[in-house]
């Protein structure tokens, strides 16, 4: 099958995680990044900066930002349409695609039999700022969602067919590794959070005072300073997938806190990547997660930040139990939660 895959270019490597297994299955695959170069981010940053400049200049910044974003979006959609016309793929597979215009999809349907989309976020949250994401629904044959909570609402908004497809992990990136002394020096800690800051993660980290804690990610600097964490707690703003996998091999406890959009079965990528790399995870509870992990044997779940601290204290003292749970978690994800398994589900639905 000839497949055009359209997705974002970002540190998590989502498009690459899907692309390589498709090629291993002998599909002819063409890829297109819909967010590179990232002019929408540049435009968004200009709007944020406008609040720090004199009011006389603010009136010029926002219109300029909107103009940049609109021009970039128009150009990207033209390029995508040209690629789709030349490819004439049997299947167009869109990963999220919030900046793709409905008229672009309407034209692409003339060249391809099926258009499908997979969201690892709640698309409804994007509709106010990206109305084209809602308008797309009429042209998408199957909408795959990482969470089951919004199926009915999405169908009422125009989605033809909605299917559950949870997140996954790239086993070529996240796997147990040979660790060097330099790696240990760089990543060793009791509790390591690799994620951008938001309030729920901050509340969780606030329960870890007294442990050897390390953080990698955007948005943490001010919070850590406010909560009187040592300056060495923040070890970097971002890591790529291979670096994250190495860190998961070394960190004793990897905490996980889900965004509010994870409601019914919507486990985030981190839930699968940590055990995929052989790491030990303590995560918050998401309804329906029992379908994917056996709680207490393959994954450990906390009910509150205070409960997380209790669990962390216990498992730091019981290394054998920690390693046994990590091993069972690895065996589960390598069996059930790779991109190969998710693609199998997609092709079953397409039949």
Q: How far apart are CA 275 and CA 281, in angstroms?
A: 7
pLDDT of residue 70: 79
pLDDT of residue 234: 95
Identical fold for domains 2-165 and 181-337, yes or no, is yes
Superfamily of domain 181-337: Glycogen Phosphorylase B; (3.40.50.2000)
Rounded to 5°, angle at Cα 40 from 35 and 46: 150
pLDDT of residue 161: 98
What percent of the chain has a predicted confidence (pLDDT) above 90? 85
Q: Which two tokens stand for residue 130?
A: 């990206």
Confidence grade of residue 42 (pLDDT, cut at 50, 70, 90) = low
Q: How far apart are CA 24 and CA 58, in angstroms?
A: 51
Confidence grade of residue 72 (pLDDT, cut at 50, 70, 90) = confident
What's the full length of the chain, in residues? Answer: 351
pLDDT of residue 67: 75
Burial 79-108 (b: 16+ CB within 10 A, else e): ebbebbeebebebbbbbbbbbbbbebbebb
Q: Which two tokens stand for residue 309?
A: 């601290």
Least reliable range by pLDDT among 41-55, 195-209, 301-315: 41-55
Q: Please write the tens of the pLDDT for every residue from 308-321.
A: 999 999 999 999 99
Q: Please write the tens of the pLDDT for every residue from 243-254.
A: 999 999 999 999
Q: How far apart are CA 315 and CA 252, in angstroms?
A: 9
Domains of the chain, residue spans: 2-165, 181-337
Is the domain spanning 2-165 CATH 3.40.50.2000? The answer is yes
Least reliable range by pLDDT among 60-69, 73-82, 94-103, 267-276: 60-69
pLDDT of residue 37: 54
Q: Please write the tens of the pLDDT for every residue from 116-173.
A: 999 999 999 999 988 999 999 999 999 999 999 999 999 999 999 999 999 999 999 9
Q: Please write the tens of the pLDDT for every residue from 262-302.
A: 999 999 999 999 999 999 999 999 999 999 999 999 999 99
Higher pLDDT, 61 or 275: 275
């Amino acid at each position: 099958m000839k497949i055009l895959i359209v997705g974002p270019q970002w540190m998590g490597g989502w498009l690459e995680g899907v692309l390589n297994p498709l090629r291993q299955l002998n599909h002819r695959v063409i890829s297109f990044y819909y967010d590179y170069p990232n002019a929408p981010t540049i435009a968004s940053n200009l709007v944020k900066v406008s609040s720090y400049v004199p009011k006389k200049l603010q009136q010029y910044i926002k219109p300029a930002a909107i103009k940049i974003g609109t021009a970039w979006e128009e150009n990207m959609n033209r390029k995508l349409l040209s690629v789709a016309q030349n490819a004439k793929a049997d299947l167009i597979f869109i990963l999220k695609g919030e900046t793709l215009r409905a008229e672009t999809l309407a034209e692409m349907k003339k060249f391809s039999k099926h258009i499908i989309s997979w969201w690892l976020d709640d698309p409804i949250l994007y509709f106010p700022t990206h109305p084209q994401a809602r308008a797309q629904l009429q042209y998408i044959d199957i909408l795959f969602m990482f969470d089951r909570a919004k199926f009915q609402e999405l169908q009422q908004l125009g989605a033809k067919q909605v299917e559950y497809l949870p997140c996954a992990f790239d086993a070529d990136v996240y796997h147990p590794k040979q660790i060097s002394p330099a790696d240990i020096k760089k990543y060793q800690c009791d509790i390591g959070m690799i994620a951008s800051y938001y309030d729920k993660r901050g509340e969780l980290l606030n329960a870890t005072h007294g442990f050897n804690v390390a953080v990698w990610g955007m948005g943490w600097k001010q919070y850590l300073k406010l909560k009187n964490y040592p300056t060495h707690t923040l070890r970097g703003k971002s890591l790529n997938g291979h670096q994250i996998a190495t860190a998961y091999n070394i960190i004793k406890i990897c905490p996980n806190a889900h965004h509010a959009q994870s409601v019914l079965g919507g486990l985030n990528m981190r839930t699968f990547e940590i055990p995929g790399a052989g790491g030990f995870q303590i995560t918050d509870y998401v309804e329906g997660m029992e379908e994917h992990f056996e709680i207490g044997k393959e994954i450990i779940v906390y009910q509150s930040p205070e409960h997380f601290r209790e669990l962390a204290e216990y498992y730091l003292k019981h290394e054998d139990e920690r390693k046994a749970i990590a091993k069972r978690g690895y065996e589960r994800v390598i069996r059930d939660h790779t991109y190969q398994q998710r693609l199998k589900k997609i092709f079953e639905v397409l039949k």
